[in-house]
């Protein structure tokens, strides 16, 4: 109670004043009014000032500011004041002025005759303002008339009538009128009107009071610069591929003797570090082209997404002697061609294993002189238990990967991609990993990927890997490990030599990149198949493959399966928080040459990015629970089916400190045809009874480009217990150290879980 009273921020409020706690909007009207919630929200945006930030009824920022005291503003006191928040007192609020702002806001949404009054409601140490808005039904748009005194512009704008954001029958909305002016400005700029501006378009409104209607007229302003009505073309495209941003002027004109001309584009350097063709594929405006804002922005985006240039600037200039012609100057500041990075860290896991990890990375951003990105990664790690049940158990791994990215499609046939604002990427990747688990086995893995990634729009992205090969073998098995495999046929199949060769496609739609959107949607669909080409080849030779008599390629049994997963999220943004909903579902089905999914393709549940109240990969399949043994440290049981749902509310505490409360639920299951005897197979009539449920709270340090996350999870439902005993809420006892040790799961991770 003492802490709560202190953090409320009310202790040091002056006796003759009160702490302002916010405002309330009340609507008063006659007759039926539609969209009252939206009207209230619009009115509230005009309310000033905002009260002190609250968290669960507390005001930590205000408390921090007050705790700093009245001394000199330096040292820790200066930091406390900067992180804190000065009290907002009712004496500093000017409600009479705010009523005018509210009326103006209501006017902008078609309530032209609003009248707002206020009253102040006080308590012992706090006060809030109640604004009473007397309103009427908003005016609606009756029609839109176009009165454009320029024939060419009039033709363009009238052709855009059907795409207008202002429609007859809609409520009058000033913001929509502004948006429509900006939209038409973009249309005109795409038609060559380089010097046009949204301010040159004028909406006039004629109201009909009796019917609450507005007749709109769109025209050009009376006095416009001559340039605004002229259509401009590109005279020359000049590219400086080695531009120094510290230069006070562009050196393009002084380097005419050393210039290089390719496809009518002038390069100011005769000797190019990057092939001109690699740059030209991103230049969407050429000599004699009509100026286009879309092509202008596409050129900027394509050059930046190549990954080779640190800065890209485009400047348009005109010459007095060349009327209605623009010189387009592209100034490129390249990144360093080569980078060598070393990273060393200590890794601690939730199973009490810890150890060092070392990674070396070499990057070449122009490997083949065509802006190709070459990444070479070499790494190694070692882990062991310093103290605990398996003190002498350790393992180490060696990892290597070579990846070459081309800023274009590289394929046996031509793929057109000329109209996008983003550069497509082609990936060639080769990797080899070696893992040594002392007293158990050695695992060797080889991967090769050839694929494409391209963005359709800023929010839509595709990935297609037509060649996706993974070869895994387990060697040097100990007798103890072989005995373990014999006891579980499913795990035995999972650890057999695996040859995965197939195709993967992924589609991503992500509205989180659309800044300012309150309700953001996320969708990621991934589909994968393997072994079908090999199966057709085997059948052409008369082989009939099945799990008992599998076919081989090069003496190795290949995996055959199909797999699809769906990840759906919804982010609802508030002023000081965010509500996130997530649903993940996935199904993988082995067939033909395989009876089980390869281990690396199985679904797992539990852990920091899944159901956080349970250890990583510990849930399922079904009612199965892997006992805590030495083998359980690395032999998790996967599933063919996964269903998972998450709810999380994220909120601000201080500037970079965020909080969260969450609830997670889900499990994995096997198909009935699976040879494993662990866990019940999936059943439409039983699966909902086998859902694991957890909840918890979290703290996150978010400094925009880096997030470190601490989530404390508490299990609420354990699917492996007897059916009537799975809910474990009654067992929660924070005072019991045994309960805390067996149930509280602290997840430490980098980045948000979803």
pLDDT digits (tens, 9 = 90+) for 95-148: 999 999 999 999 999 999 999 999 999 988 899 999 999 999 999 999 999 999
Half-sphere exposure in the Cβ direction for 212 (13 Å, CA): 17
Q: Kindly state the average pLDDT of the residues 239-260.
A: 69
Contact 378, 400 (CB under 8 A): yes
**CA dist., res. 499 & res. 531, Å (int):** 9
Q: Kindly state the average pLDDT of the residues 401-416.
A: 91
User: Residue 294 is inside which H or E element, if any?
Assistant: helix 293-305
Question: Which pLDDT value is given to residue 1?
Answer: 43
What does the pLDDT look like over 696-750, one tens digit per residue?
Answer: 999 999 887 788 999 999 999 999 999 889 999 999 998 898 898 889 999 888 8
CATH-assigned architecture of domain 140-229: Roll (3.10)
Between helices 293-305 and 174-190, what is the axis angle to 10°?
Answer: 80
Q: Is it true that the peptide bond before 49 is cis, omega within 30 degrees of 0?
A: yes
What does the pLDDT look like over 325-371, one tens digit per residue?
Answer: 999 999 999 999 999 999 998 877 666 677 899 999 999 999 999 99
User: Residue 491 is inside which H or E element, if any?
Assistant: helix 489-494
What does the pLDDT look like over 7-34, one tens digit per residue?
Answer: 676 777 888 888 998 999 999 988 888 8
Task: Name the nearest CA neighbour of 609 among 634, 642, 564, 632.
Answer: 642
- Joined together, the tokens standing for residue 430 give 């080769």
Half-sphere exposure in the Cβ direction for 625 (13 Å, CA): 13
Alpha helix positions (H), 206-292: 276-280
The pTM for the full model equals 0.83
274-302 core/surface letters (b: 16 or more CB in 10 A; e: else)? bebebbebbbbbeeeeebbbebbebbbbb
**CA dist., res. 106 & res. 103, Å (int):** 5
Question: Which pLDDT value is given to residue 255?
Answer: 46
Other Cβ atoms closer than 10 A to 532: 17
Question: Which pLDDT value is given to residue 4?
Answer: 46
Superfamily of domain 233-334: membrane protein fhac (3.10.20.310)
Does residue 678 have a pLDDT over 70? no
Does residue 469 have a pLDDT over 90? yes
Contact 466, 451 (CB under 8 A): yes
CA 409 to chain centre: 25
CATH 3.10.20.310 domain residues, the chain: 140-229, 233-334
Q: Tell me the backbone φ, ψ of residue 2, rounded to 5 degrees.
A: -65, -45
Confidence of residue 2 (pLDDT cuts 50, 70, 90): very low
């Amino acid at each position: 109670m003492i802490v709560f009273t202190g953090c409320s921020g009310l202790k040091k409020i002056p006796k003759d004043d009160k702490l302002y706690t916010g405002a309330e909007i009340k609507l008063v009207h006659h007759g039926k009014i539609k969209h009252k919630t939206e009207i209230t929200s619009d009115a509230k945006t005009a309310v000033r000032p905002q009260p002190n930030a609250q968290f669960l009824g507390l005001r930590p920022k205000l408390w921090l500011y007050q705790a700093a005291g009245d001394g000199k503003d330096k040292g820790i006191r200066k930091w406390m004041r900067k992180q804190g928040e000065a009290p907002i007192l009712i004496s500093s609020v000017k409600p009479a002025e705010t009523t005018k702002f509210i009326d103006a806001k209501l006017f902008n949404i078609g309530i032209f005759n609003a009248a707002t009054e206020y009253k102040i409601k006080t308590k012992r140490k706090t006060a809030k303002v109640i604004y009473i808005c007397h309103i009427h039904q908003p005016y609606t748009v009756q029609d839109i008339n176009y009165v454009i005194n320029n024939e060419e512009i009039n033709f363009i704008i009238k052709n855009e009538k059907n795409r207008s954001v202002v429609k007859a029958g809609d409520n009058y909305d000033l913001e929509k009128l502004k948006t429509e002016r900006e939209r038409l400005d973009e249309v005109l700029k795409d038609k060559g009107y380089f010097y046009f501006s949204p301010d040159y378009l004028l909406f006039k409104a004629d109201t009909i009071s009796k019917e609450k209607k507005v007749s709109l007229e769109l025209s050009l302003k009376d006095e416009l610069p001559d340039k605004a009505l002229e259509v401009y073309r590109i005279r020359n495209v000049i590219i400086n591929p080695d531009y120094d941003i510290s230069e006070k002027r562009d050196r393009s004109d002084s380097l005419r003797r050393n210039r290089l001309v390719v496809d009518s584009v002038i390069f100011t350097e005769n000797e190019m570090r990057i092939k001109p063709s690699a740059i030209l594929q991103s230049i969407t405006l050429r000599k004699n082209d009509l100026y286009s804002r879309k092509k202008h922005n596409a050129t900027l985006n394509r050059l930046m997404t190549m990954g080779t240039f640190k800065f890209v600037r485009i400047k348009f200039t005109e010459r007095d002697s060349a009327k209605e012609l623009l010189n387009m100057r592209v100034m490129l500041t390249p990144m360093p061609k080569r980078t060598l990075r070393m990273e060393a860290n200590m890794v601690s896991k939730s199973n009490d294993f810890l150890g060092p990890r070392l990674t070396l990375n070499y990057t070449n951003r122009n490997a083949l002189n065509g802006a190709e990105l070459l990444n070479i990664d070499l790494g190694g790690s070692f882990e062991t238990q310093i103290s605990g049940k398996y003190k002498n158990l350790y393992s180490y791994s060696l990892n290597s990967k070579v990846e070459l990215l081309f800023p274009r499609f590289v394929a046996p046939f031509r793929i057109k991609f000329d109209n996008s604002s983003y550069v497509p990427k082609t990936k060639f990747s080769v990797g080899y990993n070696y893992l040594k688990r002392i007293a158990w086995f050695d695992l060797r893995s080889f991967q090769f990927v050839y694929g494409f990634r391209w963005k359709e729009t800023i929010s839509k992205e595709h990935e297609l890997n037509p060649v996706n090969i993974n070869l895994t073998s387990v060697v040097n098995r100990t007798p103890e490990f072989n005995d373990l495999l014999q006891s579980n046929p499913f795990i035995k199949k999972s650890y057999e030599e695996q040859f995965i060769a197939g195709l993967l496609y992924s589609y991503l739609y992500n509205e989180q990149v659309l800044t300012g959107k309150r309700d953001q949607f996320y969708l990621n669909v991934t589909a994968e198949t393997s072994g079908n080409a090999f199966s057709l080849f085997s059948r052409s030779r008369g082989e009939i493959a099945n799990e008992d008599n599998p076919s081989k390629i090069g003496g190795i049994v290949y995996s055959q399966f199909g797999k699809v997963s769906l990840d759906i999220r919804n982010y609802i943004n508030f002023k000081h928080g965010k509500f996130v909903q997530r649903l993940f579902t996935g199904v993988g089905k082995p067939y033909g040459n395989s009876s089980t999914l390869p281990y690396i393709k199985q679904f797992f549940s539990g852990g920091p990015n899944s159901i956080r109240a349970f250890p990583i990969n510990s849930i399922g399949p079904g009612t199965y629970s892997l006992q805590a043994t030495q083998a359980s440290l690395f032999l998790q049981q996967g599933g063919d089916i996964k269903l998972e749902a998450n709810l999380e509310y994220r909120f601000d505490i201080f500037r970079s400190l965020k909080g969260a409360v969450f609830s997670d639920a889900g499990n994995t299951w096997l198909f009935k045809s699976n040879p494993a005897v662990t866990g019940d197979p999936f059943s439409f009539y039983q699966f909902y009874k086998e859902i694991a449920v957890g909840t918890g709270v979290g703290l996150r340090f978010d400094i925009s480009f880096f997030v470190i996350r601490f989530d404390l999870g508490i299990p609420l439902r354990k699917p492996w217990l007897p059916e009537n005993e799975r809910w474990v809420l009654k067992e929660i006892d924070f005072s019991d150290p045994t309960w805390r040790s067996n149930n509280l799961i602290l997840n430490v991770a980098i980045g948000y879980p979803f």
